[in-house]
A and B are shown apart, each in its own frame.
Chain A
Amino acid sequence: MRNLRIARGYAKALVQSADDAGSITDVESGLTVLQDMLAGSEELASFFVDPMISPAAKAEVAEQVFGEALPPLLHSFVALLIEKRRERELAPIVAETRKLLNERAGIETAYVKSAIPLSDAQTQSLQTRLGTITGNTMQIEVEIDPSVVGGFVVRIQDTIYDASVSTQILRLQESLAAGR
Chain B
Amino acid sequence: MAQQVRPDEISRVLRQSLERFTSEVDVYEAGTVLQLGDGIARVHGLQNVMASELLEFPGGVLGMALNLEEDNVGCVLFGDSTHVREGDTVKRTERIIEIPVGEALLGRVVDPLGRILDGKGEASTTETLPVERKAPGIIDRQPVRDPMMTGLKIVDGTTPVGRGQRELIIGDRQIGKTAICIDAILNQKGKDVFCIYVAIGQKGSTIAKIMQVLETHGALEYTTIVSATASEPAPILWIAPYAGCTLAEYYRDSGRNSLVIYDDLTKHAWAYREMALNLRRPAGREAYPGDVFYLHSRLLERAAKMSEERGGGSMTALPIIETQEEDVTTYIPTNVWSITDGQMIMEPGLFYSGVRPAMNVGLSVSRLMGNAQSDCMKQICGPLRAELARYRETLAFAQFGSDQLDAQTRAQLERGERMAELLKQDQYEPLPQWKQILSIFVGRENLAEDVEVDNIRHFELALHDFFGREEKPMTERLDEYEKLTDDELAALKTAVETFKESYDPSSEAA
Pick out which of these stretches binds chain A: B25-33, B294-302, B485-493.
B25-33
Pick out which of these stretches binds chain B: A19-27, A71-79, A159-167.
A159-167
Counting CB contacts under 8 A, is A180 at the interface?
A: yes
Interchain CB contact under 8 A, A158 and B31 = yes
Measured CB to CB, the closest approach of chain B to A81, in angstroms, equals: 21
Counting CB contacts under 8 A, is B450 at the interface?
A: no
List residues 137-180 of chain A with CB under 8 A from any CB of chain B.
155, 157-163, 167-168, 171-172, 175-176, 179-180
Interface centre among B25, B35, B45 (most CB of A within 10 A): B25
Counting CB contacts under 8 A, is A53 at the interface?
A: no
Interchain CB contact under 8 A, B34 and A162 = no
Q: Mark B18-30, 1 if CB is under 8 A from A, else 0.
A: 1011010111111
Interchain CB contact under 8 A, A161 and B46 = no
List residues 390-411 of chain B with CB under 8 A from any CB of chain A.
none
Counting CB contacts under 8 A, is B14 at the interface?
A: yes
**Chain A residue, CB-CB nearest to B27:** A161
Q: Mark B358-369, 1 if CB is under 8 A from A, else 0.
A: 000000000000
Question: How many angstroms from the CA of A161 to the CA of B35 in the assembled complex?
Answer: 25
Q: Mark B65-105, 1 if CB is under 8 A from A, else 0.
A: 00000111000000000000000010000000000000000
- Indicate whether A175 sits within 8 Å of B27 (C-beta atoms), given known contacts A1-B42, A158-B46, A158-B48: no
Question: How many angstroms from the CA of A62 to the CA of B466 in the assembled complex?
Answer: 105
List residues 1-45 of chain A with CB under 8 A from any CB of chain B.
1, 4-5, 8
The A contact surface, by secondary structure, is mixed
Counting CB contacts under 8 A, is B506 at the interface?
A: no
- Indicate whether A158 sits within 8 Å of B27 (C-beta atoms), given known contacts A5-B70, A172-B21: no
- Residues on B with C-beta less than 8 A from A175 are 17, 21
Question: How many angstroms from the CA of A5 to the CA of B44 in the assembled complex?
Answer: 13
**Chain A residue, CB-CB nearest to B18:** A172
The B contact surface, by secondary structure, is mixed
- Residues on B with C-beta less than 8 A from A1 are 34-35, 42, 71-72
Question: How many angstroms from the CA of A4 to the CA of B72 in the assembled complex?
Answer: 11
Pick the residue among B25, B47, B71 that contacts A157 (CB under 8 A): B47
Question: How many angstroms from the CA of A8 to the CA of B70 in the assembled complex?
Answer: 11
Measured CB to CB, the closest approach of chain A to B496, in angstroms, equals: 66
Question: How many angstroms from the CA of A1 to the CA of B67 in the assembled complex?
Answer: 15
Pick the residue among B18, B26, B72 that contacts A167 (CB under 8 A): B26
Interchain CB contact under 8 A, A158 and B21 = no
We find that the number of chain B residues with CB closer than 8 angstroms to chain A is 24
- Residues on A with C-beta less than 8 A from B70 are 5
We find that the number of chain A residues with CB closer than 8 angstroms to chain B is 20
Measured CB to CB, the closest approach of chain A to B336, in angstroms, equals: 37
- Residues on A with C-beta less than 8 A from B47 are 157-158
**Chain A residue, CB-CB nearest to B13:** A179
Pick the residue among B20, B34, B71 that contacts A5 (CB under 8 A): B71
- Residues on B with C-beta less than 8 A from A179 are 17
Pick the residue among A155, A158, A162, A172 that contacts B25 (CB under 8 A): A162
**Chain B residue, CB-CB nearest to A159:** B29
- Residues on B with C-beta less than 8 A from A161 are 25-27
Interchain CB contact under 8 A, B34 and A160 = no
Interchain CB contact under 8 A, B71 and A158 = no
- Residues on B with C-beta less than 8 A from A158 are 29-31, 45-48
Question: How many angstroms from the CA of A171 to the CA of B72 in the assembled complex?
Answer: 30
Question: How many angstroms from the CA of A160 to the CA of B56 in the assembled complex?
Answer: 14
- Residues on B with C-beta less than 8 A from A176 are 14, 17
- Residues on B with C-beta less than 8 A from A8 are 71
- Indicate whether A163 sits within 8 Å of B30 (C-beta atoms), given known contacts A4-B71, A158-B48, A180-B17: no
Interchain CB contact under 8 A, A180 and B20 = yes
Measured CB to CB, the closest approach of chain A to B62, in angstroms, equals: 17
- Residues on B with C-beta less than 8 A from A4 are 71
Interchain CB contact under 8 A, B17 and A160 = no
26 contacts between A and B (CB under 8 A): A1-B34, A1-B35, A1-B42, A1-B72, A4-B71, A8-B71, A157-B45, A158-B29, A158-B31, A158-B45, A158-B46, A158-B47, A159-B27, A160-B27, A160-B28, A160-B89, A161-B25, A161-B26, A162-B25, A162-B26, A162-B27, A162-B28, A171-B21, A172-B18, A175-B21, A180-B17
Taking Cβ atoms with an 8 Å cutoff, the residues of B that contact A are 14, 17-18, 20-21, 23, 25-31, 34-35, 42, 45-48, 70-72, 89
Known pairs A158-B48, A168-B23. 13 more at Cβ < 8 A? A1-B35, A158-B29, A158-B45, A158-B46, A159-B29, A160-B27, A161-B27, A167-B26, A172-B21, A175-B17, A176-B14, A179-B17, A180-B20
Counting from the closest, the 10 A-B pairs by CB-CB distance are: A162-B26, A163-B25, A158-B45, A158-B29, A168-B23, A160-B30, A158-B47, A159-B29, A161-B27, A4-B71
